[in-house]
């Protein structure tokens, strides 16, 4: 079966995410755009995943809990999980290695946690928009150990990209999947990175940036386990 997806969406928990990126707004825009499966990938947190997963269930949209994690080498990775409990475990694993820095709202923006009514119920005090002290190799191993999948984000960009930072995709990371940003020319990367599964997502920080029905994937069913298996067949 073929499903329309967007696997890189931020909420208002990300300091760079717009305050209108609330649970209901994200689901309503995804539904309006004809998406069937999305992933919530805030910077170094899964604080808003559970509530959006529930609203997604009520609206026939599958929501995968995830995170955008900045490893010690300072490139971004997308981690996706089979359930919220695993996501929270990795969140704690990442948080334990984040520098103890307070978010400066006037510079980075708010980091809101919201409920099912889009009300702000808390604000994350610790700065999320920073690198963890976990190395890429260490991070990838731990995410895979608990049954998640992980791959480098927006490898086509000039910042926070594994290619820009390291100059290559190291064999020791055992990578099979890479992500491109919306503006990347897919065919060129398909030729250059033969053998890789390529995900192309919006990296939406604003509602209008959430993907239309432009990216599709094949999966056995609309279940998290089958979707993850299609992204990363070895998972």
The confidence score (pLDDT) of residue 131 equals 97
Q: Render pLDDT for 147-170 as a digit per residue (tens, 0 to 9).
A: 999 999 999 999 999 999 999 999
CB atoms within 10 A of CB 92: 9
pLDDT of residue 198: 95
**Residue of 133, 128, 121 lying closest to 105 (CA atoms):** 128
Q: Which pLDDT score is estimated for 73?
A: 97
Q: Is the pLDDT of residue 3 over 80?
A: yes
- Residue 235 clears pLDDT 90, i.e. is over it: no
Question: Residue 186 above 60 pLDDT?
Answer: yes
Could you please report the per-residue DSSP string of 12-24?
Answer: TTSTTS-TT--HH
**Distance from C-alpha of 135 to C-alpha of 75, rounded to nearest angstrom:** 10
Looking at the predicted structure, is the pLDDT value of residue 233 above 70?
A: yes
Q: Please report, rounded to a whole number, the percentage of residues in the chain having pLDDT higher than 70.
A: 99
CATH architecture of the region 2-231: Alpha-Beta Barrel (3.20)
The mean-pLDDT minimum among 67-71, 214-218, 231-235 falls in: 231-235
Closest among 75, 80, 40, 74 to 56, alpha carbons compared: 40
Confidence of residue 33 (pLDDT cuts 50, 70, 90): very high
* Segment 199-221, tens digit of pLDDT: 999 999 999 999 999 999 999 99
Give the mean model confidence (pLDDT) for residues 33-60: 98
pLDDT in the model for residue 83: 98
Average pLDDT of every residue of the chain: 96
Give residue 205's pLDDT. 98
- The domain spans of the chain are 2-231
Residues of the chain above pLDDT 90, percent: 97
The pLDDT-based confidence of 137 (bands split at 50, 70, 90) is very high
Give 129 or 233, the one with higher predicted confidence: 129
Q: Cα–Cα distance between 84 and 40 in angstroms, integer?
A: 11
Report the pLDDT value the prediction gives residue 183, as an integer from 0 to 100. 87
Hey, what are 183's tokens?
A: 């503006």
**Do strands 76-80 and 62-70 pair parallel, antiparallel, or not at all (unpaired)?**
antiparallel
pTM exceeding 0.85: yes
Output the pLDDT for position 234. Answer: 62
């Amino acid at each position: 079966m073929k499903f329309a997806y967007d696997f890189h969406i931020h909420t208002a928990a990300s300091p760079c995410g717009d305050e209108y990126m609330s649970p209901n707004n994200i689901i309503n825009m995804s539904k309006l755009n004809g998406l069937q499966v999305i992933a919530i990938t805030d910077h170094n947190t899964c604080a808003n995943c559970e509530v959006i997963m529930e609203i997604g269930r009520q609206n026939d949209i599958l929501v995968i809990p995830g995170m955008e994690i900045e490893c010690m080498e300072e490139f971004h990775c997308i981690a996706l999980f089979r359930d919220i409990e695993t996501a929270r475990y990795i969140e704690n694993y990442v948080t334990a290695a984040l520098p103890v820095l307070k978010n400066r709202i006037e510079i980075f923006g708010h980091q809101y946690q919201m409920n099912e009514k889009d009300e702000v119920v808390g604000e994350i005090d610790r700065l999320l928009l920073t690198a963890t002290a976990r190395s890429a190799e260490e991070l990838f191993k731990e995410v895979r150990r608990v049954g998640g999948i992980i791959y480098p984000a927006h490898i086509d960009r000039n910042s926070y990209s594994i290619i820009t930072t390291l100059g290559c995709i190291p064999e020791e990371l055992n990578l099979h999947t890479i992500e491109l940003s919306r503006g990347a020319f897919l065919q060129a990367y398909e030729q250059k990175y033969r053998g890789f599964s390529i995900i192309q997502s919006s990296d939406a920080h604003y509602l209008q940036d959430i993907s239309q029905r432009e990216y599709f994937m094949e999966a056995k069913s609309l279940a998290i386990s089958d979707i993850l298996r299609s992204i990363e067949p070895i998972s």
